[in-house]
Structure 1
Amino acid sequence: MSAIKTELAAFIAAHTSEDFIMTPITMREASLHTAWEQELPKVPMASVVDTVLDGCEVYDVPVRIYIPDTSRPLPVLIYYHGGGFAIDTVAVYDPVCRRIAQATQHIVISPEYRLAPENPYPAAYEDALAVARKALPALDALQIPYQADLTLCGDSAGGCMAAYTSQALQHDASLPLTHQILVYPCLDMTHSFPSVQENCNTRTGFTPAKMTWYFNQCFRPGDDRRDASPLFGELSADMPAT
């Protein structure tokens, strides 16, 4: 592992901002290297379970389940990781999900949804919805006790998936969806609001060119980006508390 880290560090160091070429592979390697460099401590869990949600309509999604306390049933939180729909994994977000599980005393379910450009829109959206529908039956099958209280959470692209899924399920009384937590979510895929100009700049490190690159991995010519934007979807009184 140390040899791999050394090689990755040398690779990243050799590419300055002027000559670094953004590709899905280089961006994934850079993100993984950053995660290794941070070396966030892994909060101990009472149990961590890796499984696959069988019976999903399109793709059986792998998930990691974090259980901070097995002595009592806990509410459930699904955490959709960020990464512009194109990078990052359950492993990269493992320390984050552990800390969320401990701090909130929720069972946290982290999905390994499909990434673009190998799996463009709407693959990630399909997986996000499937996980919300299959998560509680999976806990039943694994005989993991839980409270009938479901929260959807995510950052960036993950925030988009949480918002999209909340909208899609807002009238579904069979799911105990009570909350959504959106951390700097992508809600407008058309880039038509001032926040793009206000926040995509060299000061934040997330330039308009980088934003465009990420969205071009996810969407194909002809995709309806407005239809993919939770900001323009139905917002009824049935939406979970945000």
Structure 2
Amino acid sequence: MINSIYNSLGYWDTLLRENLTMKEKIFKEVNINEKTPFFHTVIFTRNNGMEILWSPCNDIKALIGYIQYAFLPQAFYFWIEGADKKITKYPILTADKIILNGEKAGKLSKDEAYLMKSQLGFIKGLWGMPKYSALKELKNFSMSFNNTWFGNSNGFMYLQVFENAEEMGKFVVNTNKQTSSEKSFQESTGLKEDEWINLCKAINNDKGSQEKFLNILYNVLNHVV
């Protein structure tokens, strides 16, 4: 195991238990700067609805830890168990254990189990990489992950990783153009698309801009994209 505070279920266990239904609070105290990565996740099952998260993260290593110990275990658990029942609480276990339990219960196909193990192994392999290389690999991983678990009306899993706020902001604008209009974007956020991009650029140097940005990130984007 690569030595890192974030590479431990024990580190994430307390954070997850305290913020199980409000995961955005996990990174509420992040000191945002030009090197702060952002991420976007979606977990959907027909019986449990959709859980959407937009968030900054301390750094790339923290993001790797969140994906390995928080996102993948929950996403895999909901994929395995959420297809045929309502989940009111899920166990805080490693993704390895979630996969193993799914196999033992006969709820995972061999192909699904293989893909989950392979993707988990890929994430584990990022710990020893330099941060910039790990970020690049995470972006590539997210594309492969999304293609794998695109799913259907019963469920899907989605992950997107951004180098900084500006990159995330441009993703929001481009995605909104495919699904809605600039007018609806402005009505939801109170900003035109170019104003939104400028806000994303300004958050590193202006506290007021950062507060406005975070309010939109946590309270508005789920309804826009």
Would you tell me which structure has more helix in proportion to its own residues? 2
Return the structure number with greater relative CO, CA threshold 8 A, min gap 6. 2
Q: Does TM, scored on the shorter chain, surpass 0.5?
A: no
Give TM-score scaled by structure 1 length.
0.30
Greater strand proportion? 1
